[in-house]
Amino acid sequence: MSILAGGIGLATVLLLGPLVIPLLYRLKFGQEIRDDGPRAHLKKRGTATMGGIMILAGTALASFLVNGASPENLFLFAVMLGCGLLGFADDYLKIVFRRPLGLRARAKMLGLLIVGAFLAWSAFILQRGTLIAIPFTELKIQVGLFYYLFVVLVLIATANAVNLTDGLDGLAGGLTAIVGIAYVVISLLTGHEAAAVFAAAVAGSCLGFLKFNHYPASVFMGDTGSLALGGALAGLAVLTASELTLVILGGVFVLEVISVVIQVISFQMTGKRVFRMSPLHHHFELSGWPEVRVVSFFWFIGCCLAVLGILSLRGMG
């Protein structure tokens, strides 16, 4: 069933691309490129964005056709859609109202808090329990009501991490596809068949999107896509009780966030930058690596971490 869901997601996005992408160009939903970013990116100015709506559509069609309206699928897609709508609002403000920063930071954080609270409520309704599994061990820690705060933090962190990583053609989509495939395996190993189908739908939709998003991209996913994908991964982590395993599976996303934190702290404390530019993928770019090489390298690391994450499942289930 997971293979079927992945295939439907893939086919849906491939079919939508030739219809949606020209529409985005006609609506002049083009990406703005920051002048302080890598100079090589200036040629991408005007590339259609908000392509994440295709990933959402592919995931919805595939998961609901195969899973039906099961509680797990409803909750997972609701979290993904909630984050996607927040990203859509952010993109819309940037493009239509020419607000470079999109949603105000407080508004975006409030939106993520609301979606995170919904995810925590979903975990309660689905009787997820309040144990946190420790990777590579049999240990599970009982944290009681603090677990629900932890869930909110997982949602916020994951959504922002995927969003930060979406800076090169195919990078975030490819990495999410890799983590999604890993979650198919994890979900099946832990007895969460609905989650496996949903993960396959996400992965298949991302792979379909890469047809149009690989270098040189004809469309970007925008915050619509990156926040939605972050929400999907957070939901899968919570439903399969693998929140800490997600740190391994999504290790590249984690490294991207850490690079930004290090850069900011270093500059504030010493006036010097550790990296040529953050997030980390820009450091490699400015070090002379072609964009395709950076993306391929990060995908490779992502694959290695996905395997490591699956191997860390001892004691889970």
Question: Does residue 311 fall inside a structural domain?
Answer: no
Question: Does residue 259 fall inside a structural domain?
Answer: no
pLDDT value for 241: 94
The residue assigned the tokens 């629900």 is: 148
pLDDT value for 184: 98
pLDDT digits (tens, 9 = 90+) for 231-255: 999 999 999 999 999 999 999 999 9
pLDDT value for 39: 63
Question: Does residue 33 fall inside a structural domain?
Answer: yes
pLDDT digits (tens, 9 = 90+) for 251-306: 999 999 999 999 999 989 888 898 888 899 999 998 999 999 999 999 999 999 99
pLDDT digits (tens, 9 = 90+) for 66-88: 999 999 999 999 999 999 999 99
Question: Does residue 281 fall inside a structural domain?
Answer: no
Is the confidence at residue 52, as pLDDT, over 70? yes
The residue-averaged pLDDT of 100-107 equals 88
Q: What percent of the chain has pLDDT over 70?
A: 95
Question: Does residue 14 fall inside a structural domain?
Answer: yes
67 is in an annotated binding site: no
Question: Does residue 82 fall inside a structural domain?
Answer: yes
pLDDT digits (tens, 9 = 90+) for 211-228: 999 999 999 999 999 999
pLDDT value for 130: 94
pLDDT value for 40: 63
Question: Does residue 60 fall inside a structural domain?
Answer: yes
Question: Does residue 261 fall inside a structural domain?
Answer: no
> Mean pLDDT in the chain?
93
pLDDT digits (tens, 9 = 90+) for 30-45: 877 665 566 666 667 8
pLDDT digits (tens, 9 = 90+) for 166-188: 999 999 999 999 999 999 999 99
pLDDT value for 215: 93
Q: How many domains does the chain have?
A: 1
Question: Domain of 11?
Answer: 2-127+140-243
- When comparing pLDDT for 32 and 144, which is higher? 144
